């Protein structure tokens, strides 16, 4: 169902050239699993438990990246894009990618922690874990 939604939204975005479809799909793909996982594994403690620090670092990373992305988009709409690599604003889009990658790394570490807390064997559950 989730994959189907993503495929339909991607096709609509490519066919209709509506940027809001892309941003909405991206937001849903980040927000829904993040919010569901925040309350997973009761033995990790409450939402603000120190054992959930990776989730909070994910949130800070993706939030910072999103702020940089929005700043870049604002510069574009205002036709104020910097042209020199010496201008730090020139690097806003690459910074978004660094922050979203960082968020992804924290997210994966958190999901592994949740799975271990729920008693699931992470090593045997990985797809393609044994390539030989």
Are 26 and 50 part of one and the same domain?
Answer: no
Residue 12 lies in a domain: yes
Cα–Cα distance, 92 to 53 (Å, whole number): 26
- Asked if 54 and 19 sit in the same domain, the reply is no
Q: Which of 18-22, 24-28, 63-67 has the highest mean pLDDT?
A: 63-67
**Does residue 131 lie within any of the structural domains?**
no
Nearest to 37 by CA among 16, 8, 58, 13: 58
Which single residue is written with the structure tokens 């959930």? 52
Total structural domains within the chain: 2
- Does one domain contain both 59 and 6? no
- Please tell me the least confidently modeled range out of 14-18, 22-26, 98-102, 118-122: 118-122
Averaged pLDDT score across all residues of the chain: 88
Residues 23 and 54 in one domain: no
The beta strands (E) that lie in the chain are given as none
Q: Are residues 62 and 88 in the same domain?
A: yes
Residue 25 falls within a domain, yes or no? yes
pTM more than 0.75? yes
- What are the tens digits of pLDDT across the range 46-105? 889 999 999 999 999 999 999 999 999 999 999 999 999 999 999 999 999 999 999 999
């Amino acid at each position: 169902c989730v994959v189907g939604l993503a495929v339909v939204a991607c096709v609509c975005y490519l066919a209709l050239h509506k940027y809001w479809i892309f941003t909405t799909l991206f937001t849903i793909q980040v927000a829904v699993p993040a919010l569901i996982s925040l309350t997973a594994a009761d033995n990790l403690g409450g939402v603000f438990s120190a054992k959930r620090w990776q989730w909070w670092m994910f949130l800070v990373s993706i939030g910072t990246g999103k702020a940089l992305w929005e700043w870049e988009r604002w510069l574009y709409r205002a036709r104020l894009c910097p042209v020199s690599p010496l201008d730090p604003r020139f690097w806003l889009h690459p910074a978004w990618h660094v922050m979203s990658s960082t968020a992804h790394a924290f997210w994966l570490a958190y999901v592994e922690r949740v799975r271990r807390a729920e008693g699931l064997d992470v090593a045997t559950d990985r797809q393609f874990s044994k390539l030989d």
